[in-house]
């Protein structure tokens, strides 16, 4: 077979020239060629299930740009994670040279984002795309290509049904949209293709050979029967890493926890620096190291990382600032950093020069479950980061065995195993109620027949065999009736005969992207009291399963329990036991574990809102700047959702207090800084505090300030000082200042009352 040349593709000349020149790609890989033959550039639905590194994402890019240039339509690319969305958007921006406008949007589920009308390609997350479809943004009608990257996420409990809901909505809109779905790890491609009404491209071919093996006791056992004896340095990961470096490659290590990434990185760094392994360039690395320190919001975490970076090694996890993560990834790409030890943050979709991928642990801790083995799917994704085209001549993925019999076990269960089938989770009660409410509230279904039609366009329907069996279909209709009844009883829907419509409350949920189960908890909590303390509110907000919870350690258990007892009346959601039972010690610790972790999470968030420093939060809670960013976005969303619920339910006091708390939890500031942080760009909690302490307490103060007075404050330069004065003046001239005056002390539990034992929040623990 002769490879298809880029110059022969049915694409505009400018695009072909661009690919050849800018990307250096002249010929297509066989699976890519098959996608062309099956119509990826002719608007056909395509499911590409081909091995990692076969250029799936590239094909989707070309199809999108082609559609924009030749048909004048828009294209949307949906990915599973926010960080991936930003990365893809950055990659796609090179097409701006062809006049293609690229935008990225994530979060802020209550917005319709009309500004996106001005862009040709929109990169976003599944959740955000679902929320845009809920708002029925006008520009969606112009979308001609929809790319679902990493489509095996359909298997995910939460994200899967969101993908199915997106597809069902696109179908209900009757749009003539081409769907391109991509994944390297789908065990049942035919199933998914049938569901998507797509042609399937399936292949195991890989442009760069990938060898897989298991390491045990100084030996790598490859799946092809070969063996390699390497120098045993006593520590398996270290031995494998050093072996790679001495052979001129770089290594990417995956492990199962953040502390493990740090520990392994330190061991490797120590070895490289102490034994003078001659692969690093100290001068360049010390530059990277300073950049890391500079970019890290937490000095402690930054120093920990900067130290190993000097030896050419880094750890990488979601606790790090986004900027710090980019520095690490770029320096690894530039081959300054030789080793990166990561959690799953780098497991999918990325192109890095990793000659050898090492999987340190094939088990990880799942809260509430215990240690669990990784799915084959995840292993294959991690393994696929090794040997990327243009970066390495070959790749290796090595699992580590802890005993001799594990060699065989890993070979059988990972390397030679088939990836799992993707199974829909759409038809669980929770998912059905979430997505049916959304279908009705956003007008994709208005009667029971419409609702059924919506469900029948999901993968869950197909996989449940409902299309083939009348009896099953009747059962499903009854399930749907039950779910609709639940939504009616909850006050989210109204039903007259077979017509269904959302109530004001139901519409609010839909617009705020709040699921009915969580909304019910919120409403129950709000009804428990007329007003409560900041702890009571924050604890209510963190009831959403979206909020990552901090685990309570053994030694902390009693402190948090005491906190619960002290604040009993103010807590809107009570523990699963009575006060008497707790006071009399009639419980087992595990009965209270979950509850206390929501308390601990709330306490941490309140300390953040009380301006406790990033360093302190990292030291006390292991919460890094990257986590704070996630919490901040969640609070902005969920706290305002609860505030809106309260105001829709006519609970004014709740609504007022929640609104204040929302800003505090979002920006990590006390009340008096709210006006500064919400109005000014480039002013976060630290700078706002500095301004305030220097006497600049409102936007008006700043508008009237002498630039020199501000530029002399720590953390401000001339440029920033001028910029914020200009911003402040402009806001005032245009009457756009969001005014905020701190409120008086309130009833119903101020922080003082809440933490009466030892005074302030800070002193408490």
Contacts with ligand ATP by CB under 6 A lie at 23, 25, 27-29, 32, 52-58, 184, 349, 351, 384, 388-390
The verdict on 349 binding Mg ion (CB under 5 A) reads: yes
Residue 417 CB, shortest distance to ligand ATP, in Å, is 18
Residue 184 CB, shortest distance to ligand ATP, in Å, is 4
58 binds, among Mg ion, ligand ATP, none (CB under 5 to 8 A by kind): ligand ATP
Residue 84 CB, shortest distance to ligand ATP, in Å, is 10
For ligand ATP, the closer of residues 356 and 388 by Cβ is 388
Residue 7 CB, shortest distance to ligand ATP, in Å, is 13
Distance CA 548, CA 605 (A): 11
3-state per-residue secondary structure call for 247-313:
CCCCEEEECCCHHHHHHHHHHHHHHHHHCCCCCCCHHHHHHHHHHHHHHCCCHHHHHHHHHHHCCCE
389 binds, among Mg ion, ligand ATP, none (CB under 5 to 8 A by kind): ligand ATP
CA-based nearest residue to 457, from 192, 164, 199: 164
Residue nearest to ligand ATP (CB): 55
CA distances from 229 to 240, 246, 405 (A): 11, 14, 18
Binding span for Mg ion by CB under 5 A among 49-57, 76-84, 296-304, 756-764: 49-57
Tokens read off for 724 = 């914020």
53 binds, among ligand ATP, Mg ion, none (CB under 5 to 8 A by kind): ligand ATP
Q: What is the dihedral of CA 234, 236, 237, 243, to 10 degrees?
A: 80
The answer to whether 180 and 63 have CB atoms below 8 angstroms apart is yes
Tokens read off for 266 = 């330190």
Residue 32 CB, shortest distance to Mg ion, in Å, is 12
The answer to whether 437 and 514 have CB atoms below 8 angstroms apart is no
Residue 354 CB, shortest distance to ligand ATP, in Å, is 12
CA-based nearest residue to 97, from 20, 18, 26, 21: 18
For ligand ATP, the closer of residues 57 and 727 by Cβ is 57
538 binds, among ligand ATP, Mg ion, none (CB under 5 to 8 A by kind): none
The answer to whether 125 and 85 have CB atoms below 8 angstroms apart is yes
Strand pairing class (219-222; 210-216):
antiparallel
Tokens read off for 418 = 């088939």
360 binds, among Mg ion, ligand ATP, none (CB under 5 to 8 A by kind): none
Residue 208 CB, shortest distance to ligand ATP, in Å, is 9
Binding span for Mg ion by CB under 5 A among 56-64, 243-251, 494-502, 744-752: 56-64
Crossing angle, helix 516-528 and helix 429-441, to 10 degrees? Answer: 90
353 binds, among ligand ATP, Mg ion, none (CB under 5 to 8 A by kind): none
CA-based nearest residue to 339, from 260, 216, 240: 240
The verdict on 626 binding Mg ion (CB under 5 A) reads: no
Write the CB contacts of 138 (distance below 8 Å, at least 6 apart in sequence): 114, 117
54 binds, among ligand ATP, Mg ion, none (CB under 5 to 8 A by kind): ligand ATP
Residue 331 CB, shortest distance to Mg ion, in Å, is 22
For ligand ATP, the closer of residues 3 and 373 by Cβ is 3
Tokens read off for 454 = 């919506």
- Please state the φ and ψ torsions of residue 698, each to the nearest 5 degrees: -145, 170
Residue 277 CB, shortest distance to ligand ATP, in Å, is 28
CA-based nearest residue to 337, from 385, 285, 292, 273: 285
Residue nearest to Mg ion (CB): 57
Buried/exposed 379-393: b ≥16 CB within 10 Å, e otherwise: bbbbbbbbbbeebbe
Tokens read off for 397 = 């993925």
For ligand ATP, the closer of residues 55 and 749 by Cβ is 55
For ligand ATP, the closer of residues 94 and 713 by Cβ is 94
For ligand ATP, the closer of residues 183 and 544 by Cβ is 183
Neighbour tally for 161: CB within 10 Å: 27
Which of left, alpha, beta for 253 (phi over 0: left; psi -120 to 50: alpha)?
A: beta
Tokens read off for 159 = 């994200």
Q: Which of residues 477-536 bind Mg ion (CB under 5 A)?
A: none
Residue with tokens 């049938």: 194
For ligand ATP, the closer of residues 207 and 218 by Cβ is 207
Binding span for Mg ion by CB under 5 A among 52-60, 648-656, 724-732, 736-744: 52-60
Binding span for Mg ion by CB under 5 A among 13-21, 57-65, 230-238, 675-683: 57-65
Residue 166 CB, shortest distance to ligand ATP, in Å, is 20
For Mg ion, the closer of residues 161 and 349 by Cβ is 349
Binding span for Mg ion by CB under 5 A among 50-58, 157-165, 321-329, 704-712: 50-58
Residue 200 CB, shortest distance to ligand ATP, in Å, is 15
3-state per-residue secondary structure call for 33-67:
HHHHHCCCCCCCCEEEEECCCCCHHHHHHHHHHHH
384 binds, among Mg ion, ligand ATP, none (CB under 5 to 8 A by kind): ligand ATP
Q: How many residues interact with Mg ion (rule CB under 5 A)?
A: 2
Residue 724 CB, shortest distance to ligand ATP, in Å, is 41
Residue 152 CB, shortest distance to Mg ion, in Å, is 11
Contact characters 703-722, Mg ion, x per CB under 5 A:
--------------------
What are the beta bridge partners of residue 143?
74
Tokens read off for 642 = 């609860």
Distance CA 113, CA 127 (A): 14
Residue 173 CB, shortest distance to Mg ion, in Å, is 27
Residue in 32, 50, 54, 57 binding Mg ion, rule: CB under 5 A: 57
* Torsion 561-567-573-576 (CA) sign: positive
29 binds, among ligand ATP, Mg ion, none (CB under 5 to 8 A by kind): ligand ATP
Distance CA 65, CA 120 (A): 9
The verdict on 431 binding Mg ion (CB under 5 A) reads: no
390 binds, among Mg ion, ligand ATP, none (CB under 5 to 8 A by kind): ligand ATP
The answer to whether 57 and 149 have CB atoms below 8 angstroms apart is yes
Where on the chain is the footprint of Mg ion (CB under 5 A)? 57, 349
């Amino acid at each position: 077979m002769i490879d298809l040349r880029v110059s022969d593709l049915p694409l505009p000349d400018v695009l072909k020239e661009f690919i050849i020149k800018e990307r250096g790609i002249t010929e297509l890989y066989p699976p890519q060629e098959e996608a062309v033959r099956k119509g990826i550039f002719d608007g056909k639905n395509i499911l590409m299930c081909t091995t990692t590194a076969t250029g799936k994402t590239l094909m989707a890019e070309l199809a999108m740009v082609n559609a924009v240039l030749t048909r004048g339509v828009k294209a949307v690319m949906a990915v599973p994670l926010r960080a991936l969305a930003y990365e893809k958007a950055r990659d796609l921006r090179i097409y701006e040279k062809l006049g293609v406008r690229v935008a990225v949007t994530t979060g802020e589920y209550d917005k319709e984002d009309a500004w996106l009308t001005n862009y040709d390609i929109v990169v976003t997350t599944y959740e955000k795309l679902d929320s845009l479809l809920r708002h029925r943004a006008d520009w969606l009608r112009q979308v001609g290509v929809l790319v679902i990257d990493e489509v095996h996420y359909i298997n995910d409990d939460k994200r899967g049904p969101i993908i199915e809901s997106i597809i069902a909505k696109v179908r209900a809109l009757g749009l003539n949209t081409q769907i391109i779905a991509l994944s390297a790890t789908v065990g049942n491609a035919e199933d998914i293709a049938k569901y998507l009404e797509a042609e399937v491209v399936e292949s195991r071919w890989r442009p760069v050979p990938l060898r897989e093996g298991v390491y045990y006791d100084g030996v790598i056992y490859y799946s092809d029967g070969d063996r390699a004896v390497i120098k045993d340095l006593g520590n398996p990961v270290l031995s494998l890493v050093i072996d790679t470096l001495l052979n001129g490659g770089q290594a990417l290590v995956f492990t199962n926890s953040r502390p493990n990434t740090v520990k392994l990185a330190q061991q490797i760094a120590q070895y490289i620096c102490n034994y003078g392994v001659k692969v690093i360039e100290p001068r360049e690395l010390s530059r990277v190291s300073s950049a890391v320190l500079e970019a890290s919001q937490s000095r402690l975490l930054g120093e920990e990382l900067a130290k190993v970076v000097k030896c050419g090694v880094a750890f990488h996890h979601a606790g790090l600032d986004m900027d710090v993560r980019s520095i690490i990834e770029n320096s690894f790409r530039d081959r300054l950093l030789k080793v990166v030890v990561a959690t799953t943050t780098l497991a999918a979709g990325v192109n890095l020069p990793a000659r050898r991928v090492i999987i340190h642990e094939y088990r990880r801790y799942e809260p509430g479950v215990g240690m669990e083995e990784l799915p084959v799917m995840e292993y294959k994704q991690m393994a696929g980061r090794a040997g990327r085209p243009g970066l390495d001549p070959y790749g290796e993925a090595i699992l580590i065995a802890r005993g001799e019999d594990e060699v065989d076990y890993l070979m059988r269960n990972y390397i030679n195993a088939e990836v799992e089938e993707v199974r829909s989770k759409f038809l669980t009660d929770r998912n059905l109620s979430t997505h049916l409410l959304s279908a009705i509230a956003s007008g994709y279904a208005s009667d029971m027949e419409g609702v059924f039609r919506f469900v029948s366009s999901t993968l869950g329907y197909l996989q449940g065999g409902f299309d083939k069996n009348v009896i099953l279909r009747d059962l499903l209709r009854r399930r749907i009736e039950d779910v609709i009844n639940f939504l009616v009883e909850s006050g989210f829907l109204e039903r007259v005969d077979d017509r269904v419509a959302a109530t004001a409350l139901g519409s609010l949920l839909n617009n705020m992207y709040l699921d009915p189960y969580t909304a019910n908890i919120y409403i129950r909590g709000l009804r428990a009291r007329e007003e409560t303390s900041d702890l009571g509110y924050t604890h209510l907000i963190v009831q959403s399963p979206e909020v990552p919870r901090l685990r309570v350690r053994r030694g902390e258990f009693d402190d948090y329990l005491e906190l619960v007892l002290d604040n009993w009346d103010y807590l809107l959601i009570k523990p699963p036991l009575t006060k008497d039972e707790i006071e009399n010690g009639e419980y087992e610790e595990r009965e209270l574990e979950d509850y206390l972790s929501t308390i601990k999470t709330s306490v941490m968030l309140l300390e953040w809102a009380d301006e406790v420093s990033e360093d302190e939060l990292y030291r006390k809670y292991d919460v890094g700047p990257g986590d704070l960013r996630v919490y901040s976005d969640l609070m902005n969303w969920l706290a305002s959702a609860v505030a809106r619920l309260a105001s829709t339910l006519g609970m004014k006091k709740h609504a007022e207090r929640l609104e204040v708390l929302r800003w505090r939890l979002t920006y990590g500031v006390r009340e008096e800084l709210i006006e500064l942080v919400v109005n000014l760009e480039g002013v976060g909690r630290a700078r706002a505090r500095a301004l305030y302490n220097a006497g600049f307490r409102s936007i008006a103060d700043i508008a009237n300030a002498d630039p020199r007075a501000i530029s002399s404050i720590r953390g401000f330069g001339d440029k920033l000082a001028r910029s914020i004065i200009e911003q402040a003046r402009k806001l005032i001239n245009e009457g756009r200042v969001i005014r905020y005056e701190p409120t008086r002390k309130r009833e119903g539990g101020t922080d003082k009352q809440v933490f009466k034992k030892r005074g302030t929040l800070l002193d408490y623990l």
